[in-house]
Chain A
Amino acid sequence: MELGWKKGAAAPQGQNPRQIPIKGPKPSKKKMKRKKKKRDTEELKKEVVMDDHKLTLEELSTKYSVNLTTGHSHQRAKEILIRDGPNTLTPPPTTPEWVKFCKQLFGGFSLLLWTGAILCFVAYGIQIYFNEEPAKDNLYLSIVLTVVVVITSCFSYYQEAKSSKIMESFKNMVPQQALVIREGEKLQINVQDVVLGDLVEIKGGDRIPADLRLISARGCKVDNSSLTGESEPQSRSTDFTHENPLETRNICFFSTNCVEGTARGIVIATGDSTVMGRIASLTSGLEVGQTPIAAEIEHFIRLITVVAVFLGVTFFVLSLLLGYGWLEAIIFLIGIIVANVPEGLLATVTVCLTLTAKRMAKKNCLVKNLEAVETLGSTSTICSDKTGTLTQNRMIVAHMWFDETVYEVDTSEEQTGKTFANNSDTWFILAQIAGLCNRADFKPNQETLPIAKRATTGDASESALLKFIEQSYSSVAEMRKKNPKVAEIPFNSTNKYQMSIHFREDSSQTHVLMMKGAPERILEFCSTFLLHGQEYSMDNELKEDFQNAYLELGGLGERVLGFCFLNLPSSFSKGFPFNTDEINFPMDNLCFVGLISMIDPPRTTVPDAVNKCRSAGIKVIMVTGDHPITAEAIAKRVGIISENTETAEEVAARLRIPVSKVNPRDAKAIVVHGSQLKDLHSEQLDQILRNHTEIVFARTSPQQKLIIVEGCQRLGAIVAVTGDGVNDSPALKKADIGIAMGISGSDVSKQAADMILLDDNFASIVTGVEEGRLIFDNLKKSIMYTLTSNIPEITPFLVFIILGIPLPLGTITILCIDLGTDMVPAISLAYESAESDIMKRRPRNPKMDKLVNRRLISMAYGQIGMIQAVAGFFTYFVIMAENGFRPIDLLGIRLYWEDKFLNDLEDSYGQQWTYEQRKVVEFTCQTAFFVTIVLVQWADLIVSKTRRNSVFQQGMRNKILIFGILEETFLAAFLSYTPGMDVALRMYPLKISWWFCALPYSILIFVYDEIRKLLIRQRPGGWVERETYY
């Protein structure tokens, strides 16, 4: 598994991203290369610098030396192609499969086992060299260790390979064909052949083949959502409208989609130098740090190594003092060090994480990297994207204003019945306008689907209106059949309205003109207004009401549209040729009907989830490419900005003082605009992140998202980032855990992420956090359980060395415990339920709350383990004594006992034993020692179930755990009583009474630990807690 393996080498993140490396004297080539790579990444983090959108067409023409009507010559295009290379994205460097496997094989925890295996092998080598017929124990041990590592690695490699299928991401985004103009001819060419300065034509449905500066456009709209996160199609024209190249209208970006209209543009960037290409290279160039669990495992290995080496060296010196030879002492040293390696723990941890990963997958969190399972539990900051994660990623009608009243519409996700009902005539007219003056339509063959789920053609707001009318009023298709459209002016960004004229059969006035658009524009056309179905002439009172309503709805972050109509005089009879270019019909003195506002509403489960995160001590930051007002409105609705907190602006408004005078402590919330962020130093960003609990970043670029994540990490937070677009992928990769959206997420984001939310629901993250925290606690318990039995496994060897008694526990029996009986119980602790509400406590502090700490070692090794060891020795002495070897006579017997040719060894009763006969007794003792460990491990397992609560509070509901206890007992009995085991594993049947030797010690463990936990509960912060609460 990848335990202990870093997600990548720790990235050397400079404090100042714009720092230019200082040239040292004669830096080596390699160094240069590394520095260059680093600078590239830093370079990519900067905002896109581009001035093509500001240039006039002539300047463009000169800059790219191209004729703006005929395009490049074929020759010139070929030259540029050779110079710049093909217009494709460099695929991110993929790690070969065998490297991945090797990472599993030699990473972190495995390394410990490998060291053990090699040491054993060395010990065996020494023995073979000096002794013709050595015991094969060390050889077996080294083989077993190797097998364990290999099997576990295969297992976790398989697990991870299964969940992280290689996704062909960036490649798929490249369109196949592009229409270019060269030498005045239109040509279909492969996209990779498009070169800088080419003239390209695009139309609705195309993918944009390169970064384009438009030179002409007709009703062109592009979907930039994958790049900026804006869910709305953006209209594109030739006008330079904004300094920021990402926002100006006259630029189209590589691999975004043209939704409708046509346009012609000049290629200003290709391949990796496009905006999209830069994000792609930024993402693949990012190096990410270690996962928290890997850091924990590393810490654990360090601790265990210290303990092992300390013990080993102590007994090395001791055995030399006792008169053992150098060689023997070295074998002892190695033996002790290796005995400290918990052979089964690697497998246990892997299985525990896998189980949690499976459980999370069932709850819609697919974890690509096993270690990420825990990361979510340690998360202290979540940077969430807005669109699609917090919101439903669809426009729906949220409010209406007519008859001088604001009406609210049900915006929950499961809309079934009518979402709005009203009997006012104004509503009927409003509904008709919204339905008729609307170019959206349902795609065919989905009558069975609920209206809200049907797919539509047309842009988001129009679709929202269509669905709303269909659901709340009547069938739009019928309405349109009855009132066919005879003329239309489509919406464009200059006139900001949409007009259509419909034929009406059942009325004297056969034609009606309907209009919708930006409210202020619509109001300009109107001279009357409709109130409860009656027309009144416009007055200031209404205008003021209108203003208030418009501001109110706009302030909610909603897109507001105004609606009006005019019954055309009967002179326009059936068949009148309406001309929309040279208008031959009245288009003034219209009648104002009302406003409808739309929003991408938050998911219903999100506010609750945000709340849970907050009570779990997790800071939720919204990072979005959307506009600040919308972002703030959604933030307020989902609780990212909670009810009682205010932004500095709001404080200022309330106190009527300028914003600059607001005490920053009063404003816990802040909305930061991307353009502000651009000018901030990292210290200032840290300031913002530190001083505000509720933060919204709006209009952020992909690079800025990355900088925000880095800022949070700089403050020591463990950061989770959610996102779906390409624009999020650098941040997703950099985050400690990147969470991509399974449904709406782009492949790129999924590949950069560590986890995928299959239902796109932010609330699933909360489940993930809960599972992550639970597994951290349970891993602790599992490790506690596993480590404890290390002491009764090591001490027999130590006593064997020091007191010279026959070996009470052999290698094979140790392996039977570590890889046999201890496994299922240790894994069963992963199923343990939480002791308290883990979502009510703060995220763990990665510096303080370690997975394995001194207290755990002290408990496992110093206390419980010691009781277990004593239990084992008791059993051992009982069996020896009952067979004739009293404890006193065993001391120092080792040399005689081990002499194969001494076949008349006398026991305490004068009987004489052959070598083999006494070995059988010895192995019977070892079997009994093994069984004793199993029995005291019962108590240890029950004790490990909780860290603070009493077992009586926790209960024994963990069925797997009960199964574990039974399983280990049966396994022990099986190993002891199965015929043939004496030959296979040298384990012998035990007398029933020997099973009970461990009992008093099991009870002692249980009672002792219950008392300890009682003291912890009763005296919080007391000595017992400080010294033993692991």
Chain B
Amino acid sequence: MTKNEKKSLNQFLAEWKLFIYNPTTGEFLGRTAKSWGLILLFYLVFYGFLAALFSFTMWVMLQTLNDEVPKYRDQIPSPGLMVFPKPVTALEYTFHMSDPTSYAGYIADLKKFLKPYTLEEQKNLTACPDGALFEQKGPVYVACQFPLLLLQACSGMSDPDFGYSKGKPCILVKMNRIIGLKPEGVPRIDCVLKNEDQTNITTYPYNGIIDLKYFPYYGKKLHVGYLQPLVAVQVTLAPNSAEKEVTVECKIDGSPNLKSQDDRDKFLGRVVFKITAHA
């Protein structure tokens, strides 16, 4: 077993050359054309079969699914809370009151988002009775109206800048849609400022109430035109200071079956965001 060879570079190259193409045996990369053909054909057939089997099992699986409701909903027992517009990085809103371009993005987003909530768009929707779950049996499911007026100062109707230019920015808070979710009690969004008391905070509709008539949700396919109930938060920043930074925390409150406290999920029933406004 003596290895007495330190192969010279030439030898090494020659061996490689021979491996890549061997003219005497007609071997390319150690196989003849026929051998390559056979092995490639084999793998083609093999993977073809495998793909077919995979497709078949997937097809069978998809057949067992319901188009309207997912099979399991136990992974989202309780809704998360999210703000709108969504800043590009993290949940930090930064703008200059004097510079409209710095918040033009937010306003555009808000306008776009609120478009389905305009009166014209809601013409076909039902005016549902307030304060109670709106359970439906189908086969046709109707969506309840959410009048934009409820958002008052943040509806964009009276102030097309949504308060950004005045240092009173509006931010929408919404609860995630979950099929079949029936909140108990009187759910409302409660927003507080963290370590700050000079500025004040207003929520629309009054007290951040979310009306029960928007529940339960019956899914994208059945519940066409469903409008998510919204809560707007308007933070009034102290007018004098040149630069202002506040942190707002919003939570679902008043409903025992909607969690707002989870160690790992910081967005389960609550949301924290930061606003930095420059003069």
Q: Which residues of B contact A912 (CB under 8 A)?
A: 79-80, 82, 176-178
Measured CA separation A866–B46 after assembly (Å): 10
Known: A877-B61, A909-B219, A1027-B39. A11 touches B70 (CB 8 A): no
* B50-A867 in contact (CB<8A): yes
Q: Give the interface size bracket for A toward B.
A: 35 or more
The reply on A161 being an interface residue by CB < 8 A is no
Q: Which residues of B contact A867 (CB under 8 A)?
A: 50
Q: Which residues of B contact A718 (CB under 8 A)?
A: 1
Q: Which residues of B contact A920 (CB under 8 A)?
A: 75
Stretch in contact with the other chain, from A661-669, A829-837, A879-887: A879-887
The reply on B17 being an interface residue by CB < 8 A is no
Q: Which residues of A contact B264 (CB under 8 A)?
A: 916
Measured CA separation A290–B3 after assembly (Å): 9
The reply on A419 being an interface residue by CB < 8 A is no
The reply on B69 being an interface residue by CB < 8 A is yes
Q: For residues 1 through 43 of chain B, which have their beta carbon under 8 Å from a beta carbon of chain A? A: 1-4, 38-39, 42-43
* B57-A914 in contact (CB<8A): no
Contact of A911 among B2, B47, B61, B70 (CB under 8 A): B70
CB distance from A982 to the nearest CB of B (A): 9
- Chain A window 699-728, contacts with chain B (Cβ cutoff 8 Å), 1 for yes, 0 for no: 000000000000001100010000000000
Contact of B176 among A736, A866, A914 (CB under 8 A): A914
* Chain A residue nearest in CB terms to B81: A903
Q: Which residues of A contact B42 (CB under 8 A)?
A: 1027
* A915-B267 in contact (CB<8A): yes
Known: A902-B86, A1027-B39. A1000 touches B91 (CB 8 A): no
- Chain A window 282-324, contacts with chain B (Cβ cutoff 8 Å), 1 for yes, 0 for no: 0000000110100100000000000000000000000000000
* B265-A917 in contact (CB<8A): yes
* B1-A909 in contact (CB<8A): no
Measured CA separation A295–B3 after assembly (Å): 11
* B2-A289 in contact (CB<8A): yes
Measured CA separation A878–B61 after assembly (Å): 7
The reply on A963 being an interface residue by CB < 8 A is no
The reply on A862 being an interface residue by CB < 8 A is yes
Q: For residues 860 through 876 of chain A, which have their beta carbon under 8 Å from a beta carbon of chain B? A: 862-863, 866-867, 870, 873-874
Contact of A1023 among B38, B46, B68, B86 (CB under 8 A): B38
* B70-A907 in contact (CB<8A): yes
The reply on B76 being an interface residue by CB < 8 A is yes
* B179-A909 in contact (CB<8A): yes
* A13-B46 in contact (CB<8A): no
- Chain B window 205-222, contacts with chain A (Cβ cutoff 8 Å), 1 for yes, 0 for no: 000000000000101110
* Chain A residue nearest in CB terms to B1: A289
The reply on B232 being an interface residue by CB < 8 A is no
Measured CA separation A908–B220 after assembly (Å): 8
Q: For residues 231 through 268 of chain B, which have their beta carbon under 8 Å from a beta carbon of chain A? A: 262, 264-268
Q: Which residues of A contact B140 (CB under 8 A)?
A: none
Q: Which residues of B contact A12 (CB under 8 A)?
A: 2, 4
Q: Which residues of B contact A916 (CB under 8 A)?
A: 262, 264-268
* Chain A residue nearest in CB terms to B38: A1023
Measured CA separation A561–B47 after assembly (Å): 81
- Chain B window 104-141, contacts with chain A (Cβ cutoff 8 Å), 1 for yes, 0 for no: 00000000000000000000000000000000000000
CB distance from B47 to the nearest CB of A (A): 7
Q: Give the interface size bracket for B toward A.
A: 35 or more
CB distance from A760 to the nearest CB of B (A): 27
* A911-B80 in contact (CB<8A): no
- Chain A window 1-45, contacts with chain B (Cβ cutoff 8 Å), 1 for yes, 0 for no: 000000000111100000000000000000000000000000000
CB distance from B215 to the nearest CB of A (A): 13
Q: Which residues of A contact B4 (CB under 8 A)?
A: 10, 12-13
* Chain B residue nearest in CB terms to A899: B86
Measured CA separation A915–B264 after assembly (Å): 10
* A866-B47 in contact (CB<8A): yes
* A882-B58 in contact (CB<8A): no
Measured CA separation A292–B80 after assembly (Å): 62
- Chain B window 57-101, contacts with chain A (Cβ cutoff 8 Å), 1 for yes, 0 for no: 110011001001111110110011110001101110000000000
- Chain B window 268-279, contacts with chain A (Cβ cutoff 8 Å), 1 for yes, 0 for no: 100100000000
CB distance from B257 to the nearest CB of A (A): 16
* Chain B residue nearest in CB terms to A982: B264
* B268-A909 in contact (CB<8A): no
CB distance from B66 to the nearest CB of A (A): 9
The reply on B182 being an interface residue by CB < 8 A is no
Known: A13-B2, A901-B86. A910 touches B271 (CB 8 A): no
* A713-B71 in contact (CB<8A): no
Known: A713-B1, A878-B61, A911-B179. A901 touches B72 (CB 8 A): no
Q: Which residues of A contact B1 (CB under 8 A)?
A: 289-290, 292, 295, 713, 718, 736, 846
The reply on B168 being an interface residue by CB < 8 A is no
- Chain A window 901-938, contacts with chain B (Cβ cutoff 8 Å), 1 for yes, 0 for no: 11110111111111111001100100000000000000
Measured CA separation A766–B72 after assembly (Å): 62
* B80-A914 in contact (CB<8A): yes
The reply on B188 being an interface residue by CB < 8 A is no
CB distance from A130 to the nearest CB of B (A): 15
Q: Which residues of A contact B58 (CB under 8 A)?
A: 874, 877, 887
Measured CA separation A921–B76 after assembly (Å): 10
Q: Which residues of B contact A915 (CB under 8 A)?
A: 265, 267
The reply on A991 being an interface residue by CB < 8 A is yes
* Chain B residue nearest in CB terms to A716: B1
* B80-A903 in contact (CB<8A): yes
Q: For residues 151 through 186 of chain B, which have their beta carbon under 8 Å from a beta carbon of chain A? A: 174, 176-179
* A914-B2 in contact (CB<8A): no
* Chain B residue nearest in CB terms to A710: B2
* B80-A910 in contact (CB<8A): no
CB distance from A141 to the nearest CB of B (A): 23
Measured CA separation A582–B177 after assembly (Å): 129
Contact of A921 among B39, B75, B265, B266 (CB under 8 A): B75
Q: Which residues of B contact A886 (CB under 8 A)?
A: 62, 65
Q: Which residues of A contact B81 (CB under 8 A)?
A: 903
The reply on A486 being an interface residue by CB < 8 A is no
Measured CA separation A304–B182 after assembly (Å): 56
* B82-A904 in contact (CB<8A): yes
The 9 closest A-B pairs by CB, nearest first: A910-B220, A914-B80, A912-B176, A916-B265, A884-B70, A882-B71, A903-B267, A289-B1, A904-B82
9 of the cross-chain contacts (CB-CB < 8 Å) are: A866-B47, A867-B50, A881-B71, A904-B176, A911-B70, A911-B73, A917-B268, A1000-B57, A1027-B38
- A-side residues, CB < 8 A to B, are 10-13, 289-290, 292, 295, 713-714, 718, 736, 846, 862-863, 866-867, 870, 873-874, 877-878, 881-884, 886-887, 901-904, 906-917, 920-921, 924, 991, 1000, 1004, 1023, 1027
